[in-house]
Amino acid sequence: MAEQNWELSKKDILQVADLTRKELTALIQDAIIMKQQTKAGIPHPHLQGKTLGMIFEKSSTRTRVSFEVGMTQLGGHALFLSSKDIQLGRGESIADTAKVLSRYVDGLMIRTFGHEMIEEFAENASVPIINGLTNEHHPMQVLADLMTIYEKKGKLQGLTVAYVGDGNNNMPHSLMEGAAIMGMNMRIASPKGYEPLEAVFQDAKSKAEKLGATVHFTYDPIEAVKEADIVVTDVWTSMGMEAEETERLTAFLPYQVNTALTHYAKEDFIFLHCLPTHRGEEVTAEIIDGNHSVVFDEAENRLHAQKAVLKKLMGNR
């Protein structure tokens, strides 16, 4: 698989929908190449001398480590910026912060709560902005998910992805966008009151239909999982929602991914979870630690998928 000479159509990646089918495919291919190079000990210092600023309002394991290690492997440097430690946390405006940091770094990765914050950064920064996670979107995780599915299944188009859990969250939103762009069938099952954002759902549904695929919502987890190639879930109580934990545990109990539910999936289904997980809540140990689970390959692929993004967004600056 040879590296391709191509450019991204946008300066920033704030959600999966910012990418075209061609761009998503090329990023996955670049990520696989750099993964192979890493395994073989072949250096790929595409960003020598470049610096990525990383602003964190939410705590992180995989996002912070994968971006820092990725920048090191690309020959550059990653700078950790807690929102509590910079002037942003003391009232400096997002616009001023974006303009100042643009004078220092070659790109910014932001992991925060509301999506509107990252959009304001993108409007005011002159360097590329990467969404490391917001409440509404998680594009870097889904890029790694698509890479993992491609590695395990050998294709994307025509496969069926079932997401079971909180539909009004970043993972189902970004998965819908990615699946639709790549011509995959997407099914989401959630309890009442936890449906996906209507705008994201309708946009994904429209894109999928143009490629002969479907995006479908249901309240029935069995309907979602039936004959699925990929089964995905996420924690029932995300960061910032701790006050709702008791209510959520009750609402989502019928949506646990367990042996009884995955019995309806295809025999060779794979299980994905962005981690961290609460074993015994959204998924049982026998599933996440079983033969169908690829969650640690998925976690590793965050590193390589993000390197592909960093290379493209920052490589020509």
Decide if 256 is catalytic. no
Decide if 115 is catalytic. no
- 43 assigned ligand-binding residue: no
Choice among 15, 229, 273, 274 that is catalytic: 274
- 60 assigned ligand-binding residue: yes
Decide if 234 is catalytic. yes
Choice among 46, 137, 302, 304 that is catalytic: 302
Dump the DSSP string for the chain.
--------SSS-BSSGGGS-HHHHHHHHHHHHHHHHHHHHT----TTTT-EEEEEESS--SHHHHHHHHHHHHTT-EEEEEETTTSGGGGT--HHHHHHHHHTT-SEEEEE-S-HHHHHHHHHH-SS-EEEEE-SS--HHHHHHHHHHHHHHHS--TT-EEEEES-SSSHHHHHHHHHHHHTT-EEEEE--TT-PPPHHHHHHHHHHHHHTT--EEEES-HHHHHTT-SEEEE--SS-TT-GGGHHHHHHHHGGG-B-HHHHTTS-TT-EEEE-S---BTTTB-HHHHTSTTB-HHHHHHHHHHHHHHHHHHHHTT-
Decide if 141 is catalytic. yes
- 64 assigned ligand-binding residue: no
Q: Which residues contact 99 (CB under 8 A, 6 or more apart)?
A: 124, 125, 126
- 62 assigned ligand-binding residue: yes
Choice among 18, 30, 234, 248 that is catalytic: 234
Choice among 141, 145, 187, 306 that is catalytic: 141
- 48 assigned ligand-binding residue: no
- 139 assigned ligand-binding residue: yes
Choice among 138, 173, 248, 304 that is catalytic: 138
- 170 assigned ligand-binding residue: yes
Choice among 111, 137, 248, 273 that is catalytic: 111
Decide if 111 is catalytic. yes
- 90 assigned ligand-binding residue: no
- 15 assigned ligand-binding residue: no
- 234 assigned ligand-binding residue: yes
- 45 assigned ligand-binding residue: no
- Summarize the annotated binding site for carbamoyl phosphate as residue ranges: 60-63, 87, 111, 138-141, 274-275, 302
- The residues annotated as belonging to the active site are 111, 138, 141, 234, 274, 302
Q: Which residue ranges make up the annotated binding site for L-ornithine?
A: 170, 234, 238-239
Binding residues: 60-63, 87, 111, 138-141, 170, 234, 238-239, 274-275, 302
